[in-house]
Chains A and B, each alone.
Chain A
Amino acid sequence: SQTIHQWPATLVQPVGSPLSLECTVEGTSNPNLYWYRQAAGRGLQLLFYSVGIGQISSEVPQNLSASRPQDRQFILSSKKLLLSDSGFYLCAWIGGLSSYNEQFFGPGTRLTVL
């Protein structure tokens, strides 16, 4: 079965510090991968998605970047964190037509920027 991992689970970082969040998927190949951010009391905002290695699409201009160095690895980064980067970050992959395009989500990373 497919599983999706995210780490770290929680992170507290000072303003101006770098960031690296990692997402890995097991049990599938060539998945579409997604990064979402959920601010307090809000819905999910799509940040980036990737349809393959090295292929990144950005949905909103921001302080963050994403990379996909391997088929089942998706990384969210920042060179200098802002207070507004605080939130709950979710990685997801899409199951494809066989699972009616259901998106499966990782457990998330809670990021607090102080």
Chain B
Amino acid sequence: AQTVTQSQPEMSVQEAETVTLSCTYDTSENNYYLFWYKQPPSRQMILVIRQEAYKQQNATENRFSVNFQKAAKSFSLKISDSQLGDTAMYFCAFMKFQGGSEKLVFGKGTKLTVNP
């Protein structure tokens, strides 16, 4: 079974600085997706960024980028120029192709606080 590990339960960063959240996963699959979701205090789950395992190029979405190391099964999230609105729980998630019944496996999350 696939597992996702986020080793940092809590992190904090100063506004405008850069922070990296760690995520590792365990799978024997070769084709899969990886995601980072953000859950602000409103508790709405919001997709931050996704990565297809077959793509070597790291995904980037504005201030958010990932460092995808397939061999090491590592998928870290870098937030540049941190903003107060980035304060949230961040969840790393794994999805394998499953013929129409794809499911997400989530890590336990990292609580990020951006300080003014």
Compute how far the CA of A106 lies from the CA of B109 in the bound complex, rounded to whole angstroms.
19
With both chains docked as a complex, state the minimum distance between the C-beta of B8 and any C-beta of chain A, in angstroms: 13
What does DSSP make chain A's interface, helix, strand, loop or mixed?
A: strand
- Residues in B with CB closer than 8 Å to A49 are 101, 103
A32 located at the interface, meaning its Cβ lies under 8 Å from any Cβ of chain B in the complex: yes
**Contact residues on B (Cβ < 8 Å of other chain), bracket:** 20 to 34
- Total inter-chain residue pairs, C-beta < 8 Å: 49
Q: How many chain-A residues does the 8 Å CB contact rule pick out?
A: 23
A26 located at the interface, meaning its Cβ lies under 8 Å from any Cβ of chain B in the complex: no
B107–A101 touching, CB < 8 Å: no
- Residues in B with CB closer than 8 Å to A43 are 91, 106-109
B102–A101 touching, CB < 8 Å: yes
Residues on A close to B: CB < 8 A?
32, 34, 42-46, 49, 51, 57, 59, 88, 90, 92, 94, 100-103, 105, 107-108, 110
Can you list 30 A-B pairs with a CB-CB distance of less than 8 A? A32-B100, A32-B102, A34-B103, A34-B104, A42-B108, A42-B109, A43-B106, A43-B107, A43-B108, A45-B106, A46-B103, A46-B104, A46-B105, A49-B101, A49-B103, A51-B100, A57-B101, A90-B45, A94-B102, A100-B33, A100-B50, A100-B52, A101-B33, A101-B95, A101-B102, A102-B47, A103-B47, A103-B104, A105-B45, A110-B43
